[in-house]
Structure 1
Amino acid sequence: MNQTGVRWTSDQVLALAPDDASRKAGSRLGTAGPWSDAGCRDGGVLWGQCKGSGNRPYRTVVDLSGPGAASKCSCPSRKFPCKHAVGLLLLWAAQDPVVQGGTEPPDWASEWIEDRRERTAKAGEKARDKQSEGGSAPAGTADPEAARRRAERREARITSGATELEQRLTDLLRGGLAAAERAGYGMWEETAARMVDAQAPGLAARVRELGSIPSSGPGWPVRLLEECALLHLLDEAWLGRDRLPGALATTVRTRVGLPSSPQGPAVRDRWTVLAQYDQADSKVTTRRIWLYGQGSGRTALVLSFGAAGRAPEASLPVGLSVDAELLPHGGAGQLRATLGEQFGAPVPATGPPPGGSITDAVEAHGRALSEDPWLESWPVTLTAAIPAPGTGGWQLTDPEGESALPVASRALNRPALWKLAALSGGTPVTVFGESGHQGFHPLTAWSPSSPVPVPLT
C-alpha cells in the first residue's frame, strides 16, 4: 500500500496510459517475469528494473505521494507514463510479491524522488505566493513594471492582429463563401501564421479550424458562416474589451490566447476524479482532468500540458477522491482550476456525482453559452441514459424515449462506445461527459449495480 491507503485497480492503472499501444504493452509487462530488484515503500514509492532488449535492464521509479502517479524510466520512450511504469503499477495493484514492501529504494530511485518532491513543494509555494499577490504578474517576475510593459506590447500586437483578421473576414464575405473552397487551405494557414506573429494563438487555432470546413461535406457553407460569426464576435470583443464586464473580459483574453492564472480564493473540498483524457496536436499534448467537489457541488477542470510526443506529467486515476485545494481561474463561466495543496489520504469515491436528465443537460449547456459564446463543451452528468444507434449515428436517450442527445462524431468510432453499450445492455446507466455543439462526448459511466466508474477514454 502507498501513503494514500488505497491500492488502485488495474482499470485505474490502465486509464493512466497515454494510448492503446501503451496499455497493451504495459499489460504484457504486468507480470513478475521481466522484473528484478523491485519494491515499494510507505510514502508512495515504487521501483524496479525491467529486462529489455539490451544488456542493461530499464530502471523505473513511480511516485504515488500525490493523488496521481509521476514516474521516471531509463527507457527511450517519450510517452508518459511509459509501458514499464504501467507494468510496475499493474504489479503493485495486483499485490504481486515481486514488489516487496517495507524495503528502501536504491540510490537512483531515491535521488529522483527527493528531487521531484522538492521541485513540487517549490512550485506550490510559488502558486500560493502568486495567488496572494492577486496573480498580477508571472511567478518569479523580478520587475513588475517590466512585466507590465511586456504585457502592454503583447496586447498591442494582438489588437493589430485582430484588426487584420477582421479585414480578412470582411473580404471573405464580400467575395462569397465559394471563394474559400477555391482558395484551398493555404489561405487559412497563412492567416493563422499572421495571428501567431501577433502572439494570439487562440485566434490562430480558430482560423485553422475554419480552414478544415470548406468541402467537408453537405452544409459546409452554413458551418463556415457560423464559425466566422463566432470569430468575428471574438475579434470585436477583444477590440472593445475595455467596455466589457470584468469576468467576460477575462474570458475574452483567455480565448484569444493570453495565459490564464488562478484569481479566486482557494476552494478546499473532497474532489472526485470524474474523467481524464488527452488531446494532442503538432506542438503540445493537453490533458483534461474533470473533478467534482462533494461538499461544494462544483465541477472543475484541471489542465496539464506536455511537449509534442510526450504526455503531460499530471495523472489522476478516475474513481479516486482527494481532499485538496483548488485555485479557480477567472472568466465568465470558466471551470478551469489549478490543483493546490492536498490534505490527507485519497480514498475510493462512493459513486457518481449528482446529475439530471437530458433536458437538464441541454439547458445547462445553453446557460453556459450565454456567459461564454466560444465555449466548445460543458460537463454534464446524465443519471439515466441508454446508448442506442439512431438514424444519424449513436445517441443517448432517456428511458421514456422522449429526449435524445447525439453522440459526438469524435466518439463514434471509439471502442469506448461499445464498452458503454455493453455496460448498459439496453438499461439506463449514469454517464458523465462533455456536451458540445457537435454532440455529447461520453467519458465515464456507472452501472446501477456498482459505484465503480468505467472510464470510456
Structure 2
Amino acid sequence: MNQPGVRWTTEQVLALAPDDTSRKAGSRLGTAGPWSGAGSSGSGAVWGRCKGSGSKPYQTIIDTTGPAYVCSCPSRKFPCKHALGLLLLWAGAEDAVARSATPDWAEEWLAGRRKRATDKEQGDAGAGQPAKTADPEAARRRAERRADRITAGATELEQRLADLLRGGLAAAERPGYAMWEETAARMVDAQAPGLAGRVRELGAIPGSGAGWPVRLLEECALIHLLDVAWLGIERLPDPLATTVRTRIGLTAPPEGPPVRDHWLILAQYDSSDGKLTTRRNWLYGRESGRTALLLSFGAAGRSPQHALPVGLVIDAELTPYGGAGQLRAELGERFGVPVPIGSPPPGGSAAAAVEAYGSALRDDPWLDAWPVTLTGVIPVPAGEGWQLADAESGSALPVAPAALTRTGLWKLAALSGGGPVTVFGECGHQGFNPLAAWSQDAAETVSLI
C-alpha cells in the first residue's frame, strides 16, 4: 500500500499551516523563483534553498514521512512559511522539485533523524531492564493533595452556582465577565483547569444573543453535574470515573495495547483560548473501524506538535487513552510514507448520526460532539442557515452556527452541485460541523476547514 515519495495536493499542504498569515506567506513562496537546489528523494525527503532578506539563502528540509521540518530561518512558527512554500512547489510541479541525490547539508539532518529513530527502537527493545522510578509514596501524597484542592474548588463552585440560581439568571448579565474570570481563577488555584475552562465559557453566554438564559442554565447544569460526579467519584464505574478526571483536568498517560492500522487523516483544525492553541486531528482506522482523536498543544507563538496532511493515509500505531469514549489516542511509531486516501470512511444517515451522538452522551454527558460520517447527503439552505438533508429518507441535520461563516461551507455546496456527497464531521447539540467531504465520483478528500 505504501508508495514512497507520493506527492501531496496543495490543499493538504495548506492544511499544515499554523495560521492564515503563514498560509498566505507560504503560498507566495510556492513558485520556483525564490528557490534553488530544490530536490526530493524516493524516501520522502524534500529540500531546497530559499532566497531571503539576508546574504545567504535559507536552507529548508522536510521529511514528509513525519512530517518533520527544519529551516535555517529565525521563524518560531512550525512549519514556517519556507517549509510551506517548498511543499507547495513540490506538490504543484514535479519538474521543479525532481528526484536527485541528497546534498550533504540536507543529508546531515536526515541522518540524524534516522539515528534517533534507531536509538528509540533499541531503547524500546531494552525497556525490560530495570529502570529508576520515582518514589511511589511521594507521588501518592501529591495526588492526594491535588485531589483535596479540587474537592475544595468543586465545593466552592457549587456554592457560587447556587447563589447564581437563587438570585435569578437575569442578574448574571449585570456583573459582566469579571465575575466569571475571578471564579475561573479560583478553579485554577484549585488545580482544576477543566472546571476553569467551563466557567470562562459561562462568562460569554450573557452576551451571546437572544435565548441566552436558557443556554446559561444548560451550561450551569453540566458544571453542576461535573461537580457532583467529582465529589462522588469513588462510587462511579471505572470508565466514567476516568472520564470525570479528564473533564476536571487531570492528565493520565495512554493505556491499552497499541493499535496498528492504516489511519485515514480526515481533518485537522486549531482552536485557541489566547494562551494555548489546541490542535485536533481526526483519524479513522481502515481495518479496525476505529475513529481516533489526536490532541496536541502549543503555547503562545508556537504551533502544536502534530501536523498531519489531510487526505492521506498513514500506517501507524495509536495507543488509546482511558475514559468512556476512548476516542483520544497517542500517535506512536509510523511505518513507511503516507499515501492518498483511496475512498472515504464508511458512514450512515443523518438519523444514525444523531443516534450515535446520543449513545455517546450516555458514557460522557459533557461531550460537545461526536465524530460521524454522513453518506448520501445534500447541503441545502434552510432559513438563515444550512442543513444536510438525507437524499433517501429526507431527514436532515442543521449545520452548526460556527460553520456557517467558514468558506468551507461554500466549498461543500460547490462539491455537491445539488447532488449527494459523503461528509465527515462532528455531530453535537449545536448541529453538524462539516470537516471533510468527498464527491460520489472522486476519491480526493476536500478539507472544509
**Equivalent position of 2:201 in the other structure:** 209
- Once residues 11 and 303 of structure 2 are traced to their aligned partners in structure 1, the CA distance between those partners, rounded to angstroms, is 19
- Computed over aligned residues only, the root mean square deviation of the Cα atoms, in angstroms, reads 2.4
> Which residue, out of 83, 86, 89, partners 1:85?
83
**How far 1:110 moved relative to its partner?**
4.2
Secondary structure, counterpart of 2:46 in structure 1: strand
**How far 1:161 moved relative to its partner?**
0.9
**Equivalent position of 1:192 in the other structure:** 184
Greater alpha carbon shift after TM alignment, 396-405 vs 248-257: 396-405
Q: In 1, are the aligned partners of 2:5 and 2:41 still within 8 Å (CA)? A: no
* CA deviation string 1:142-201 (max 9, x = no partner): 333322222222111111111111111111111111221111110000000011111111
**Equivalent position of 1:136 in the other structure:** none
- Once residues 341 and 287 of structure 2 are traced to their aligned partners in structure 1, the CA distance between those partners, rounded to angstroms, is 13
**Equivalent position of 1:94 in the other structure:** 92
Instruction: Tell me, yes or no, if structure 1 residue 258 matches structure 2 residue 250.
Output: yes
**Equivalent position of 1:241 in the other structure:** 233
Greater alpha carbon shift after TM alignment, 330-339 vs 226-235: 330-339
- Once residues 110 and 140 of structure 1 are traced to their aligned partners in structure 2, the CA distance between those partners, rounded to angstroms, is 36
Residues 182/81 of structure 1: CA separation in 2 closer, same or farther (3 Å cut): same
Q: In 1, are the aligned partners of 2:51 and 2:58 still within 8 Å (CA)? A: yes
Q: How does 1:385-424 map to 2 (within 5 A)?
A: 385-400=377-392, 402-424=394-416
- Once residues 386 and 11 of structure 2 are traced to their aligned partners in structure 1, the CA distance between those partners, rounded to angstroms, is 25
- Once residues 405 and 298 of structure 2 are traced to their aligned partners in structure 1, the CA distance between those partners, rounded to angstroms, is 26
**Equivalent position of 2:330 in the other structure:** 338
**Equivalent position of 1:293 in the other structure:** 285
- Once residues 222 and 124 of structure 2 are traced to their aligned partners in structure 1, the CA distance between those partners, rounded to angstroms, is 34
Secondary structure, counterpart of 1:232 in structure 2: helix
> Which residue, out of 202, 219, 222, partners 2:211?
219
**Equivalent position of 1:56 in the other structure:** 56
Secondary structure, counterpart of 1:300 in structure 2: strand
**Equivalent position of 2:19 in the other structure:** 19
Q: In 2, are the aligned partners of 1:271 and 1:292 still within 8 Å (CA)? A: yes
Greater alpha carbon shift after TM alignment, 274-283 vs 145-154: 145-154
Secondary structure, counterpart of 1:16 in structure 2: coil
**How far 1:28 moved relative to its partner?**
2.0
Q: Partner letter of residue 338 of structure 1?
A: E
**How far 1:116 moved relative to its partner?**
4.7
Instruction: Tell me, yes or no, if structure 1 residue 277 matches structure 2 residue 269.
Output: yes
**Equivalent position of 1:43 in the other structure:** 43
- Once residues 72 and 200 of structure 1 are traced to their aligned partners in structure 2, the CA distance between those partners, rounded to angstroms, is 36
Identity %: 69
- Once residues 82 and 198 of structure 1 are traced to their aligned partners in structure 2, the CA distance between those partners, rounded to angstroms, is 38
Q: In 1, are the aligned partners of 2:388 and 2:399 still within 8 Å (CA)? A: yes
* CA deviation string 1:8-64 (max 9, x = no partner): 222221222223333332222111110123332343222222112333322222122
Q: Partner letter of residue 13 of structure 1?
A: V
Gaps of 5+ in 2: none
* CA deviation string 1:363-407 (max 9, x = no partner): 000000111000011001000111111114111111257322111
Q: In 1, are the aligned partners of 2:324 and 2:364 still within 8 Å (CA)? A: yes
> Which residue, out of 69, 72, 81, partners 1:71?
69
Q: In 1, are the aligned partners of 2:380 and 2:386 still within 8 Å (CA)? A: yes
Q: In 1, are the aligned partners of 2:5 and 2:42 still within 8 Å (CA)? A: no
Q: In 2, are the aligned partners of 1:3 and 1:42 still within 8 Å (CA)? A: no
- Once residues 239 and 349 of structure 2 are traced to their aligned partners in structure 1, the CA distance between those partners, rounded to angstroms, is 29
**Equivalent position of 2:172 in the other structure:** 180
* CA deviation string 1:310-349 (max 9, x = no partner): 2223222122222221101000113001111223443222
- Once residues 301 and 168 of structure 1 are traced to their aligned partners in structure 2, the CA distance between those partners, rounded to angstroms, is 34
- Once residues 304 and 128 of structure 1 are traced to their aligned partners in structure 2, the CA distance between those partners, rounded to angstroms, is 27
- Please give the TM-score of this superposition, normalised by the length of structure 2: 0.93
* CA deviation string 1:194-253 (max 9, x = no partner): 111111110000000001011321111111011000000000101111100000000000
Residues 41/141 of structure 1: CA separation in 2 closer, same or farther (3 Å cut): farther
**Equivalent position of 1:383 in the other structure:** 375
- Once residues 39 and 121 of structure 1 are traced to their aligned partners in structure 2, the CA distance between those partners, rounded to angstroms, is 25
**How far 1:100 moved relative to its partner?**
4.7
